Amino acid sequence: MGAAPQQVSPDQRVADFRKIFSRAESEVARVIVGHREVVRKLLTALFCGGHILIEGVPGLGKTLMVKAASETLGLSFKRIQFTPDLMPSDIIGTQVLTESDGLREFQFKPGPIFAHMVLGDEINRATPKTQSAVLEAMEEHQVTVFGTTYVLDPPYIVLATQNPIELEGTYPLPEAQMDRFIFKVVMGSPKPDELREILNRTTGTAQNKIQPLFEPARAPQAIEDLKGLVREVMVAEPLERYIISVIGGCTPGGPGAIPEVSQYLRFGPSPRGAQALILCAKVNALLAGRVSVSYDDIDDAIVPCLRHRLLLNFQAEAESVSSESILEQVIKRLKKPRT
Partner 1 sequence: MRVMLCAVAPALTAIVLGLLLGTIGDLTWGQYGYWLAPDSAIALSLALIGAGLVVLAMGLLMAFRAYRRANDFVAAAAELDDLLECNQEIVTFANLANPAVPERSRARRTPLFPVLWRRAIALFGGLDLRREFRLEVGAPLKRSSIFAGVVALAMLFATLGLVRAPTPESREAAKLRAIAQEIAKTATSSDDTALAGKIRAAADALENSKLPPAEKKKRIEDAMRQAEKAAEKRNNSQSGKNRGTGKSNAQSGNGGGKSQGQGNSSGAGTGEGKSGTGSGQNAGGNNPSPGKGSTGNNSGKNDGGKGTAKNDKNDQNKGDPSNVKLQNELAKAEAQAETADAKNPGPDNQPGDDKNQGGANKPGDKPDQKSGSQPDPNRPGDLPKPGANGDRNIPAAGGNPKNNKDMGSNLGDTHLGEMPTSTNAQRFLKPGEKGAGVDIKDARYVMFRLPGAPTSSSGGKTVLDTDRPKATTAYVNAPLAPTSDDAPPDERQLVPPRYRDMIH
62, 99 contact by CB (below 8 A): no
301 lines the binding site for partner 1 (CB under 8 A): no
Burial of 149 (0-12, 13-18, 19+ CB in 10 A): exposed
Half-sphere exposure of 311 (CA within 13 A, CB side): 14
Q: Which of 1, 10, 58, 333 binds partner 1 (CB under 8 A)?
A: 10
Q: Which of 20, 134, 182, 293 binds partner 1 (CB under 8 A)?
A: 293
Distance CA 167, CA 317 (A): 16
Interacting positions 212-231 with partner 1 (CB under 8 A):
229
14 lines the binding site for partner 1 (CB under 8 A): yes
Beta carbon nearer to partner 1, 296 or 319: 296
- Of 102-110, 116-124, 261-269, 290-298, the window that binds partner 1 (rule: CB under 8 A) is 290-298
Distance CA 76, CA 74 (A): 7
Beta carbon nearer to partner 1, 134 or 239: 239
Q: Which of 105, 140, 296, 317 binds partner 1 (CB under 8 A)?
A: 296
Beta carbon nearer to partner 1, 58 or 289: 289
CB of 13 vs partner 1, minimal distance in Å: 8
Beta carbon nearer to partner 1, 3 or 151: 3
280 lines the binding site for partner 1 (CB under 8 A): no
26 lines the binding site for partner 1 (CB under 8 A): no
Distance CA 270, CA 257 (A): 15
What Å distances lie between residue 40 and 64, 213, 329, CA to CA? 15, 16, 24
Give all strands (DSSP E) within 59-140, no chain letters: 77-81, 93-100, 103-110, 117-121
Amino acid code (one letter) for 170: T
211 lines the binding site for partner 1 (CB under 8 A): no
109, 96 contact by CB (below 8 A): yes
Beta carbon nearer to partner 1, 234 or 318: 234
Distance CA 45, CA 75 (A): 15
Distance of CA 35 to the CA centre of its chain: 15
The total number of residues shown for the chain amounts to 339
Interacting positions 319-338 with partner 1 (CB under 8 A):
338
19 lines the binding site for partner 1 (CB under 8 A): no
DSSP code of residue 154:
S
Interacting positions 232-251 with partner 1 (CB under 8 A):
232-239
275 lines the binding site for partner 1 (CB under 8 A): no
178, 53 contact by CB (below 8 A): yes
64 lines the binding site for partner 1 (CB under 8 A): no
CB of 296 vs partner 1, minimal distance in Å: 7
- Judged by the rule CB under 8 A, the positions of this chain that interact with partner 1 are 5, 10-11, 14, 229, 232-239, 288, 290-296, 338-339
